[in-house]
């Protein structure tokens, strides 16, 4: 019942690539927002780390979840246009709002609770992205079995 082609060739590489993109965006956007907040509050290390962590989680949740759960983005000629639209609108929204939420949580919570919350949110977001990505492609494969993401792309 489990479609291993979807898991091995689409879901796992998609999660890995979205992690790399989210980390790159978080270092840039979260770092800048954290530096600004650190200059205001005179707590640079806490502000920068909270901004980067929040920006990473926000980008993963708000931007990468809809991008990975759309099976029509893969294998079509117009998929790149839709992908760029999603990326240009959702990545800035996710990274900025995530950085601001991370700063608020970072300044209000104790260090132990901050680490615990970050770890719980990270695990929940990865599980949600994996389930949404696999489930959406699995349902699309049940309806249209000849699609590119329903079979091994390397054969």
Number of domains in the chain: 1
C-beta neighbour count of 21 within 10 angstroms? 17
Q: What angle do CA 23, 11, 138 make, to 5 degrees?
A: 145
Is 39 part of any domain? yes
The domain in which residue 67 lies consists of 4-150
| Structural domain contains residue 126 | yes
The pTM of the full predicted model, rounded to 2 decimals, is 0.87
Backbone Cα Rg of the chain: 18
Q: Tell me: the pLDDT tens digits for 67-112? A: 888 776 666 677 778 888 888 999 999 999 999 999 999 999 888 9
The pLDDT assigned to 89 comes to 93
With residue 123 as reference, give the H or E element that holds it.
Answer: helix 111-143
Q: Residue 155 domain-assigned?
A: no
Are 34 and 51 within 8 A, CB to CB? yes
- Phi and psi dihedrals of 146, rounded to 5? -90, 5
At residue 83, the pLDDT reads 83
Given a cut of 90, whether residue 1 has pLDDT beyond it is no
Residue 54 lies in a domain: yes
């Amino acid at each position: 019942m489990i479609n291993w082609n979807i898991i091995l060739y689409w879901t796992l590489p998609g999660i890995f690539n979205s992690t790399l993109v989210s980390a790159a965006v978080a270092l840039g956007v979260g770092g800048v927002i954290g530096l600004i907040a650190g200059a205001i509050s005179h707590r640079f290390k806490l502000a920068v780390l909270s901004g980067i962590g929040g920006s990473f989680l926000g980008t993963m949740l708000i931007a990468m979840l809809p991008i990975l759960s759309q099976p029509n983005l893969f294998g079509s000629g117009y998929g790149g246009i839709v992908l760029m639209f999603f990326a240009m609108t959702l990545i800035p929204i996710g990274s900025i709002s995530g950085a601001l939420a991370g700063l608020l949580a970072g300044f209000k919570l104790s260090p132990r609770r901050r680490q615990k919350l970050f770890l719980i949110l990270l695990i929940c977001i990865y599980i949600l992205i994996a389930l949404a990505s696999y489930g959406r492609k699995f349902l699309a494969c049940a309806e249209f079995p000849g699609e590119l993401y329903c079979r091994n792309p390397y054969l």
